[in-house]
Structure 1
Amino acid sequence: MKEPAARLLPWSSPNGNPCYLLGDGTGPVSRVADDIERLQLGMADDLIGHADGLLACQGAGNRELRFLARGLTDCLRDVRRVAESRGARLRSVDRSLDDEGGNEGGNEGGKEA
């Protein structure tokens, strides 16, 4: 039986270390993680819209721009973690397909089409 891949969760431990989950992706913690990822991506979209408006404003002050930069940095960190987690899960699915079919990446002889 194949071991489940570790999923990088969209939050950190209290001391800042990454948190991982072992499972098939259908349990309650996976569903909470999915919800938080959706929330993080939605917040990033909202902040991008706010950034566009603020940057178009000629009167934006240094304090406002610094606050915006902090928010964008936090959102970028969250989105990067979501992308890393989803990419790892996609690679895990690709590997399991390779194991079943015997061909690397699903292509004959492992060559790109």
Structure 2
Amino acid sequence: MKTQDGLRLLPWAGPDGKPCYLSTEDQDSYVSRLADQIEATQLGMASALLEQALQVLEDGASDPEWLSLLVAQLAGSLRDVLRVANSRGSCLAMPDILEGEPQSDRRG
């Protein structure tokens, strides 16, 4: 999962919240394997949270405090998944349709 400049975006941030990168050609290094395991865990957690959110939508009414916690967990999970996607897809160009478009206009 290397970027164009040969660095891999790791699935965690540094102490100051800035991205961490790995510079190695060895995809089987300890840090590379650890990053792979963390990415797999993050994706698995995102899948479980999505199932939970879909169940809440299907059920209807829920406790507002619980919904707030679920939204916070979904936001954190989305951040993690976007970091994984950025790391794995850093060599791909963004589609023209998204370039220059205000974030508030982007809908899924």
TM-score category by the smaller chain? 0.7 to 0.9
Counterparts of 1:53 and 1:28, CA distance in 2: 38
- Greater mean deviation of Cα atoms: 71-80 or 61-70: 61-70
The correspondence of residues 91-102 of structure 1 with structure 2, limited to 5 A, is 91=91
Per-residue deviation, 1:8: 0.4
Counterparts of 1:49 and 1:58, CA distance in 2: 14
Counterparts of 1:49 and 1:40, CA distance in 2: 14
Per-residue deviation, 1:84: 0.2
CA RMSD after TM alignment: 1.5
Match of 2:82, SS state, is helix
Counterparts of 2:37 and 2:62, CA distance in 1: 34
Higher relative contact order (CA 8 A, sep 6+): 2
- 2:46 partner amino acid: A
**Partner in structure 1 of residue 9 of structure 2:** 8
Match of 1:60, SS state, is coil
Counterparts of 2:78 and 2:54, CA distance in 1: 15
Counterparts of 2:72 and 2:58, CA distance in 1: 18
Q: Deviations over 1:2-57 (max 9, x none)?
A: xx701000001111111000012221100000000000000000001111112222
Q: How does the TM-score come out when normalised to structure 1?
A: 0.72
Q: Percent identity?
A: 45
Is the helix fraction higher in 1 or 2?
1
Gaps of 5+ in 2: 93-108
Gaps of 5+ in 1: 93-113
Per-residue deviation, 1:58: 2.6
- 1:19 partner amino acid: C
**Partner in structure 2 of residue 55 of structure 1:** 57
**Partner in structure 2 of residue 87 of structure 1:** 89
- 1:10 partner amino acid: P
Q: Deviations over 1:41-84 (max 9, x none)?
A: 00000001111112222330211111111011000000000000
Structure 1 consecutive aligned stretches of length 4 or more whose deviation exceeds 3 Å: none
